[in-house]
Structure 1
């Protein structure tokens, strides 16, 4: 049970979805940010950006967000949940591009402390072909997901344990987006 009364069935509206219904005034801007960062036009695919969100959420041990964004990434990546699991286990050995690997290193640094993003990490990402936009948005995705993770976990929301719950949400997000 969440730390506050959300006035709804938490199993029907788990994690951030219940919080969004509780406070629609904040839901709008939070969903708009997610829509721009994860689904808007971008050189990184939506699956790659969702993978960054899932990776950071896993580092933060946020079950709901990690499970959600892992499912969202898997639904948009050719190798699905297999690749998501490999990246979450060890991005250094996962079969991803060197550019994405360098961006995940930046995301991990942000997750620890934004000041841990060094000129060397940025130069390494640039050396692998990352653009300033990709570096900027990787930092912002990582920072935003630290906030989303703390929002969800700080209010003690319900996180389903069955993968099917997240797969259903993934279908909705892929087809309708975050603002629906």
Structure 2
């Protein structure tokens, strides 16, 4: 049960966006740029970073949503998302992605936890300054989103089919329409 009265029974951030649409617009614009805008990282990779950080934060709604969004855009689907969630170092992903996930995990612990060692490791695997920047910003933004969703006690459905349906819409239309 949410801590505040929402105008809808939509789960997670969706209900919060209906409660305060004037904040929903800028937040959706940020996510649209970070997860779907021009980048040398694929949309699936960026959604994977968002899902991974949400998992580290134990945010069930955000993890479930962005895991479904990543799975819909990665050839290996949910199997890979779950492998990354369980063990990013052992997951069958490129070394650059592993290094970026390590940066994201450091951000999740606190911005000052990102060290020169993290950045050097990512650069050694071919990560660009823009990819490092965007990884840090995705991780930081999802820490905020996770705290927003959980801090207001929103509802997170258990059924993965609902998240898979949301993924179809997000992949096709993006974040600006919801």
TM-score in same-fold range (> 0.5):
yes
Equivalent residue, structure 1, for 2:138: 141
Whether 1:82 aligns to 2:79 is yes
Unaligned segments of structure 2, at least 5 residues: none
**How far has the Cα of 1:7 moved from its partner?**
1.9
> Is 1:177 aligned to residue 167 of structure 2?
no
Q: TM-score under structure 2 normalisation?
A: 0.99
Structure 1 unmatched runs, 5+: none
Q: Which residue of 1 aligns with 2:158?
A: 161
Q: Is the 8 A contact 2:70 2:81 kept in 1?
A: yes
RMSD: 0.4
Partner-residue secondary structure (3-state), 1:51: helix
Distance 2:91 2:79 in 1: 10
1:11-50 Cα distance to aligned partner (Å, 9 max, x none): xx10000100110000000000000000001000000000
Residues paired across the two proteins, number: 177
1:71 to 64, 68, 82: 68
- 1:151 match: 148
* Residue 18 (structure 2) pairs with residue 18 (structure 1): no
Aligned position for 1:5:
5
Tell me, in whole angstroms, the C-alpha distance in 2 between the residues paired with 1:34 and 1:113.
20
Tell me, in whole angstroms, the C-alpha distance in 2 between the residues paired with 1:110 and 1:62. 16
Using the size of structure 1 for normalisation, the TM-score is: 0.98
Is the aligned partner of 1:126 residue 2:113? no
